[in-house]
Amino acid sequence: MFNNGSGKSAVFLKSSSLFANLVPQHYKSYTNPLPPIRKMTKEEIYEKANSVVGIEGMTGNERLYVSGLMDEFEKAKKSDKYKARTILQALKFDELSIGGIVGFSMDSLKYPNAWDFPNENSNGQEDENKATLEYSNLNEVGMGAPLSGKCKVKLNDNKEILIFENCGGPAIWTRNGQKVAVPIWDRSFFNGTFQRIGIVDLKKKTLTKYKKKFRVLDLRSFSGNNIIGFDSPIHRIKKLEFDYINETIENIIRIK
């Protein structure tokens, strides 16, 4: 029992149904559950992003605001990193900017990457120019680390050319299919395990290894003299722009 302020005592009602009948109508709305918050789909995110005109000339904040995705992004940034990354990708943020804003993780890596790449990679040519780069005996360099294995090129006549025993990561062909850039694993006493870029030239039958060291290579394109990609795509990522004509050569190996 309790005193209700009128000098009279009231009795607690144990029955929830009886108590509900005593609640004033204008309070009852507070006891009803709120409707579930609807999550925006990936298709809806891209629809909003694609509706923005002149997006390339806008700042990051302008893209989020004009697209109407600002609030959705702020919520996703706190609780759903994958969705936050999807929003920024839809709004054409570059990978370095995305990583700097929402961070990097294994789940955020594009396929292919140093941890997950195809065993076979064709140069896209036909007839006598056809060639396929193949990986075998792939194993992690360390626990949870990228993969390394034997790399060879199979030519159109089924002839196989061994490239190197320790390669790993997505290789990138030139458009004409006559050169391919391959991440090569190496090790030294002072630097531990690292990668170099190797370029296979099918016409010259050579593998050129370059001197510059990288942590983990994530190669994306090979056009003209330039190889574009990223170094260390998860930790302290750096954009890679490699002009092989002007880079120091470690050695040139004849392959056959």
115 is a domain residue = no
pLDDT in tens, 157-203: 888 999 999 999 999 999 999 999 999 999 888 878 999 999 999 99
Does residue 104 sit in the same domain as residue 125? Answer: no
- Distance separating alpha carbons of residues 218 and 172, to the nearest angstrom: 10
The position carrying tokens 């789940």 is 107
Does residue 194 sit in the same domain as residue 225? Answer: yes
Strand (E) or helix (H) holding 98: helix 95-102
225 is a domain residue = yes
209 is a domain residue = yes
From 81, 108, 135, the end of a domain falls on: 108
pLDDT in tens, 86-108: 899 899 988 767 777 877 666 66
Long-range pairs of 69-76 with CB within 8 A, sequence gap ≥ 24 = 69/45, 72/40, 72/45
Q: What string of H, E and C letters represents the secondary structure of 175-190?
A: CCCCEEEEEEEEEECC
Does residue 147 sit in the same domain as residue 97? Answer: no
113 is a domain residue = no
28 is a domain residue = yes
Q: What is the pLDDT of residue 238?
A: 86
Does residue 175 sit in the same domain as residue 235? Answer: yes
Distances (CA, A) of 180 to 133, 201, 253: 9, 7, 15
pTM: 0.64
pLDDT in tens, 223-232: 999 999 989 8
Work out the pLDDT band at 62, boundaries 50, 70, 90.
very high
Q: What is the pLDDT of residue 4?
A: 46
Q: Structurally, how many domains does the chain consist of?
A: 2
Instruction: For residue 201, give its domain range.
Output: 120-254
pLDDT at 2 over 60: no
Does residue 129 sit in the same domain as residue 248? Answer: yes
Does residue 98 sit in the same domain as residue 130? Answer: no
Q: Where are the beta strands (DSSP E) in the chain?
A: 2-3, 9-10, 120-122, 131-140, 147-155, 160-167, 172-173, 179-188, 192-201, 206-210, 217-223, 226-231, 238-243, 249-254
pLDDT at 33 over 90: no
pLDDT at 52 over 60: yes
